[in-house]
Amino acid sequence: MTVSNAAGWIVHKFGGSSVADADCFRRVAAILAERPAGRLAVVLSACKGVTDTLLDVVHAAAEGRDTATALDALRRQHAEIAQELLPAAGANGFLLAFDQDLDALRAALATARAARRAEQATLDVVAGYGELWSTRLFSEFFAAQALRPGAVRWFDARDVLV
């Protein structure tokens, strides 16, 4: 989806299927690279299936079931994309931040496990990690493709939206 407004911004929204894997990330970058120079904003969903997996993990924790297997699979999925798209240092930096997010996720899951319920607030917070991961990954990849240094900036939606 593409939207423009009076301030001259062009906003592109890409869903999960558009960022399912490294080839999809490349296609999104190619679409954006074809745009004329100007004020461009990009909104990405989580990679295909990630939000559903994250929500399932919260419910699994609340029911006392295994969550490690799904979290490991999410890490592998994102590591594969990062390693294909980014230089080694960039992929390592992405995975370091990813692992910090996993630590925070595990803490939220421990709370759900202890309470034996999946609170809506926990579901909301956990579901948002997929978008954080896809946008961090894409912004780093797209910034490396940009013709102008500093032309690409990542914003954490939690800091700009209420």
Q: Pick the closest to residue 87 from 145, 29, 33 (CA basis).
A: 145
76 phi/psi in degrees, rounded to 5: -60, -45
pLDDT at 159: 84
Lowest mean pLDDT among 2-11, 73-82, 153-162: 2-11
Give CA–CA dist 114/76, Å, rounded: 27
* Residue 3 in this model has a pLDDT that exceeds 60: no
Q: What is the mean pLDDT of residues 17-34?
A: 93
- pTM for this structure? 0.89
Lowest mean pLDDT among 20-24, 28-32, 71-75, 110-114: 28-32
32 phi/psi in degrees, rounded to 5: -70, -35
* Residue 83 in this model has a pLDDT that exceeds 60: yes
